[in-house]
A = this chain, B = another copy of it.
Amino acid sequence: MDIAPGLDWPHLFATRAERMKASEIRELLKLLDQPDVISFAGGIPDPALFPAQAFGAALTSALSGDSKGAALQYSVSEGYRPLRDWLVTRMASLGVPCTADNILITSGSQQALDYLGKLFLTKGDTALVGWPTYLGALQAFNAYEPYYDRLTPLGNRSAADYRETARANGGQVKFAYASADFANPTGETLPAPARERILDLATELDIAVIEDAAYQSLRYEGDEVPPLLALDIARSGSINTTRTIYCGSFSKTLAPGLRVGWVCAAEPVISKLVLMKQAADLHSATLNQMAIHTVASDGFEAQVAKIRETYRGRRDAMLSALRTYMPEGVSWTKPDGGMFIWVTLPEHMDGAALLAESLKAERVAFVPGKAFFADGSGANTLRLSFSCANETMIDEGIKRLGRVIRGGKTPA
């Protein structure tokens, strides 16, 4: 019998595997799980705010009585019908009239991004993304080997220019990806006119628009801006003639650990995604969809009100601390919601070097901004998350960060 050596796996892997690399940031963040570090790094909700009791009751109920067999059984790829019906009502409240046929349940909105990359991108095609954009979107799309071009900040480039650039790379522009509300990583919200410009560009290019609405419910001040999908419906007359694909999530409102999100889009897109989901993982966990449905039906608004209240206080504390402790030459966004503040350092500074120094000297963590740029620019930026630290820790952490940025250890 032959003794096989360790295999030369890379020669067996698909070409796309070359673009699946460990994120330096994620590797770094693994090291931050130390109790004496004040972390503004993780983009995760505060677990103290999860409605654990409501989930316990919902799960117990799903697993007793007539539903218990169904709760543990295979179910349809489209998703649990009562949850899809609930989402129809929810989408209507956001200005998006639709039916259950416009809704697919996914395992978090991350899965929606993966599926949309898979649905649209042939190797060499182009995706338009923000500069910066959500790192996880780049990771999801990378598997389908696209090129990236800059969607935001919106400039004056013509559709012809985008088209020509994509053609020179051997493909075509397939979609524009945008996080419209309280974006990860900047915390910024696209005002309605910017949304209209994105729709104009998408119409000219005849491409899809992927609207990442993961943070949409977390508004702490100001008026809601209609989703891109709602503005698109206003143009085209009905959801089934729109080009916008809305990706929602319960991760930031109810709980991320159950992995339940949704896509709301025109039927031709949903029906293709349903086939894709059937082939890829059959369906999202049945029991989880039932539990999310129960908890959302019983108290989505109350839960959202509770977390808004808490996160608003933390955002205010962080903005206040930044004003107090940041030196000249440092600027930051003032988000109306979400979990993030985006800091721009003086040109010569490097976020990654600052993190190393910050961890060593001051035990404060954040995410260097470079990873959020498809071209690896943005070295002088960083992302701060205010979702998981209380006001006292935020004040102390920003004070320390100010010291590191100043390059000294003297108190502010």
Contact = CB atoms under 8 A, between A and B. Distances in A.
Interface of A: 1-9, 12-17, 20-22, 26, 44-45, 47-48, 50, 52-53, 55-56, 59-60, 63-64, 68-75, 107-108, 110-111, 114, 118-123, 125, 136, 139-140, 142-144, 174-175, 203, 206-208, 232, 235-237, 240-243, 251, 255-259, 266, 268-269, 272, 275-276, 278-288
A342 to B, nearest CB: 21
Contacts of A280: 110-111, 114, 140, 143
Given A139-B279, A288-B288, 12 more contacts: A4-B241, A12-B174, A14-B122, A52-B63, A52-B64, A52-B72, A53-B63, A59-B59, A72-B256, A107-B259, A110-B280, A258-B286
B56 A275 contact: no
A278 B26 contact: yes
Contacts of A70: 47, 257
A257 B110 contact: no
Most chain B beta carbons < 10 A, residue from A120, A240, A287: A287
Contacts of A119: 13-14, 17
Given A50-B72, A122-B16, A258-B285, A56 B59 contact: yes
Contact of A6 (B8, B21, B111, B241): B241
A281 B108 contact: yes
Contacts of A9: 266, 268-269, 272
Contacts of A111: 280-281
A225 to B, nearest CB: 17
Contact of A74 (B14, B44, B207, B276): B44
A309 B323 CA distance: 70
A86 to B, nearest CB: 19
A3 B59 contact: no
A1 B232 CA distance: 11
Given A4-B242, A6-B241, A52-B72, A281 B114 contact: yes
Counting chain B CB atoms within 10 Å of each CB, the highest count among A7, A14, A119, A257 belongs to A257
Contacts of A17: 119, 272
A25 to B, nearest CB: 12
24 contacts: A1-B235, A4-B203, A4-B235, A4-B243, A14-B121, A14-B122, A15-B122, A17-B272, A44-B74, A47-B68, A47-B72, A50-B73, A52-B63, A53-B63, A56-B64, A73-B257, A74-B251, A107-B284, A123-B123, A143-B276, A143-B280, A259-B282, A259-B284, A285-B288
